[in-house]
Amino acid sequence: MKETISVLISKEDVEKRIGEMAAEIDAKYESVHLIGILKGSVFFLCELAERLTIPVTMDFISVSSYGDGTSSSGIVKFNKDLDDSIEGKNVIVVEDILDSGRTLSYVKSVLEGKGPANLSIITLLDKPERRVVPVELDMTGFVIPDEFVVGYGLDYAQKYRNLPYIGVLSLTEE
């Protein structure tokens, strides 16, 4: 299959929006503990953290919903747990994209049991048309249509994470 990528959201627009999100977080909290979901959220988390002026700590978890292709199977597995306690902290879970909602609803239920002062969820992208499990988001970068996107941390079979923009991936017969 031939893989073609067309720009959906430019680097400029992504960066501008992340700046707005950081300003909102700055205004709301005195300090935050960011939890990134590996690997997709890394680019977003770094950009966001860079723009925050309040004290920031961070940790990462890794979960996988099976499959290397363009849709997830629904089974969520924890591959890497938190390094640090989140008890009493202002926790913000940072995710690249909310699709079916399975990953975030699972992660949220696990983290809620660990005693954070509060727990909010932010995602760079949201594909509401694809939702299977409801998830309440505290902040969203962009609501996008039901397309498979890559770049800015998002991958297709582990490729394209490093693209400096969000692009729609199309697969066509060669």
Within 13 Å of residue 153, how many CA atoms lie on the same side as its CB? 20
Distance CA 68, CA 168 (A): 17
Q: Which residues from 29-48 bind Mg ion, rule CB under 5 A?
A: 40
- Contacted by 101, from Mg ion, ligand IMP, none: CB < 5 to 8 Å by type: ligand IMP
Q: Within positions 100 to 119, which residues make up the interface with ligand IMP, using CB under 6 A?
A: 100-103
Q: By CB under 6 A, how many residues form the interface with ligand IMP?
A: 17
65 binds ligand IMP per the rule CB under 6 A: yes
| Binding partner selected for residue 98 from ligand IMP, Mg ion, none, CB under the kind-specific 5 to 8 Å limit | ligand IMP
At what angle are helices 42-51 and 11-28 packed, to 10 degrees? Answer: 60
∠ CA 103-134-123 to the nearest 5 degrees? 55
d(CA 156, CA 152): 12
Rounded to whole angstroms, how far apart are CA atoms 26 and 87? 21
For residue 18, the partner it binds in Mg ion, ligand IMP, none, with Cβ less than 5 to 8 A by kind, is none
Which residues ranging from 26 to 45 are in contact with ligand IMP (CB under 6 A)? 40
Q: What whole-number distance in Å separates Cα of residue 32 and Cα of residue 150?
A: 28
CA–CA separation, 95 and 89 (whole Å): 18
Among 154, 163, 166, 167, indicate the residue that binds ligand IMP (CB under 6 A): 154
Residue 145 in tokens: 């249509």
Q: What are phi and psi of 85, to 5 degrees?
A: -65, 145
- Confirm whether 155 is a catalytic residue: no
126 binds ligand IMP (CB under 6 A): no
Instruction: For the CB of residue 20, give the shortest distance to ligand IMP in the complex, in Å.
Output: 22
| Active-site hit among 99, 138, 146, 155 | 99
Footprint of ligand IMP (CB under 6 A): 40, 65, 72, 95-103, 148-150, 154-155
Name the residues annotated as catalytic: 99
Binding site for Mg ion (CB under 5 A): 40
